Amino acid sequence: MQNQLALDKYEQEILDAFENGKLHPTSSQANYQSIARNTLERNRQVNHLVKNEYHGSKRKSFRKETTYPLYIQKVLHNFIHGFFKKAYP
């Protein structure tokens, strides 16, 4: 059993064009694909950096006698609110 939707005239024109293969991707589709590819690459880079710092952060949280998630939460909170001093000139 198929669900039938009540389409207005404009929506029906779009559906008919789609079903007849008259809709073609715009040039922006390639742009969106490029953006998605760059985002995924950036995520890989960030994940790699986080993995490199993971063990050091675990050790610090242990030394501070707190759980790792709470330690990370505190670090992020302090960073966002500007409580860290600049270590460079």
pLDDT computed for residue 47 by the predictor = 76
pLDDT (tens place) for every residue of the chain, 89 residues total: 455 778 899 989 988 998 998 887 767 877 888 888 888 888 777 777 777 788 888 888 889 999 989 998 998 898 888 887 776 65
End-to-end CA distance of the chain: 70
Residue 84 gets which letter from DSSP?
A: S
Q: Delimit the domains of the chain by residue range.
A: 30-89
**Distance between CA atoms of residues 81 and 89, nearest Å:** 20
pTM of the model: 0.40
Evaluate the CA torsion angle 5, 9, 10, 15 in order and state its sign.
positive
Q: Which residue has the tokens 């670090």?
A: 75
